[in-house]
Amino acid sequence: MRFGFVTCVQLGLSCMEAIYDVGGKLDLAITLEDDMAQAKSGRIYLDDFCGQNGVDLLKVRNINNQTAVAAIQERSIDWLFIIGWSQIARAELLASPTQGVIGIHPTLLPVGRGRAAIPWAIIKGLDQTGVTMFKLDDGVDTGPIIAQRVIPLAADCDAGKLYAAVNDAHVDLIREVFPRLRDGTIEPRAQDDRFATEWPGRTPQDGSIDLAGSVFEAERLVRATTRPYPGAFVDRANGRLVIWRAHRADRIADTTEMTGAQPPVIHFSDGMLVVDEWEWQEKSN
């Protein structure tokens, strides 16, 4: 079997390293041109890795261009991994490897197809989530499942902790599955669409806390949108309180006004949210 890998972020590079950790090798790596996505979170460059391991490296502006398709076909790539890549692979690219294209999605598919998987898992109060390695098709996260890894969600799990666990699970899945891909012994199974759910994308404005809602929902929103995400917040006339950490309380002896000068307490009909870590952003004129 011959393998290719498409990535431009640290998570993808960690997965590439994992392939070599289990005695595998890559025959092609594809990444973005150096001047693209320079501000992207986790952006990395593959020159050193590919040079050290003798991997052919191709830099593209779009994964679907003819240069990428031709490179895959000319090298007779059997399996192509695409991890940490925002461009959607089109039909011609998906058909270029002889066996198919592999992606990893941070939910237990078919649950949670779509976007913002880490925040949604916490907002929805799930007791577990996971990652799914699957064969890409022309749908959105609908392809046959190759393997899955379950991630339990503790009551205090936040986006930072889950983000790290998801990244670790990506690497673990690569180490577990790659030998079977190389030996041709995997048996992908179709997703059961009866259990499919779709989660929509989220924007920074979706971090707005509903003061007329529940303290339980607010506390989950804080955990779901903390770093590396933009944070939950409450807007006031003179600025915005961005909340990175908070905990619920039934009562508190010393309540303070939400001015940004003292640790704020936010009152709800069913309890209070005590803010432990916050950032006050003054309103610009």
The pLDDT > 70 percentage for the chain reads 95
Given a cut of 70, is residue 251 above it in pLDDT? no
| Nearest residue to 149 via CA among 168, 126, 124 | 168
Which pLDDT band, with edges at 50, 70 and 90, does 252 fall under?
A: low
Q: What is the pTM of this model?
A: 0.91
Residues 133 and 188 reside in one and the same domain: yes
Residues 27 and 74 reside in one and the same domain: yes
Residues 117 and 27 reside in one and the same domain: no
Mean pLDDT of the chain: 94
Alpha-carbon gap, residue 20 to 73, rounded angstroms: 23
Residues 198 and 132 reside in one and the same domain: yes
Determine the structural domain holding residue 250 and report its residue range.
Answer: 204-282
Q: How high is the pLDDT of residue 285?
A: 63
Which pLDDT band, with edges at 50, 70 and 90, does 255 fall under?
A: very low
Residues 78 and 160 reside in one and the same domain: no
Domain end position, chosen among 146, 181, 202: 202
Q: Which residues pair with 150 in a beta bridge?
A: 130
Q: To which residue do tokens 């990175």 refer?
A: 244
Instruction: Give me the CATH number covering residue 48.
Output: 3.40.50.170
Give the model confidence (pLDDT) of 162-218 as tens digits.
Answer: 999 999 999 999 999 999 999 999 999 999 999 999 999 999 999 999 999 999 999
Give the model confidence (pLDDT) of 87-145 as tens digits.
Answer: 999 999 999 999 999 999 999 999 999 999 999 999 999 999 999 999 999 999 999 99
Which pLDDT band, with edges at 50, 70 and 90, does 254 fall under?
A: very low
Residues 66 and 112 reside in one and the same domain: no
Residues 133 and 165 reside in one and the same domain: yes
Q: How high is the pLDDT of residue 184?
A: 96
Q: How high is the pLDDT of residue 40?
A: 86
Give the model confidence (pLDDT) of 35-73 as tens digits.
Answer: 999 988 889 999 999 999 999 999 999 999 999 999 999
Alpha-carbon gap, residue 180 to 124, rounded angstroms: 34
Domain end position, chosen among 67, 98, 129: 98
Residues 28 and 66 reside in one and the same domain: yes
Given a cut of 50, is residue 77 above it in pLDDT? yes
Give the model confidence (pLDDT) of 221-238 as tens digits.
Answer: 999 999 999 999 999 988
Alpha-carbon gap, residue 109 to 17, rounded angstroms: 25
Q: How many domains does the chain contain in total?
A: 3
Which pLDDT band, with edges at 50, 70 and 90, does 270 fall under?
A: very high
Residues 2 and 62 reside in one and the same domain: yes
Given a cut of 70, is residue 262 above it in pLDDT? no
Domain end position, chosen among 202, 220, 251: 202
Q: How high is the pLDDT of residue 253?
A: 47
Residues 64 and 79 reside in one and the same domain: yes
Residues 10 and 89 reside in one and the same domain: yes
Given a cut of 60, is residue 260 above it in pLDDT? no
- Axis crossing angle, helix 159-183 with helix 215-225, rounded to the nearest 10: 50
Residues 134 and 212 reside in one and the same domain: no
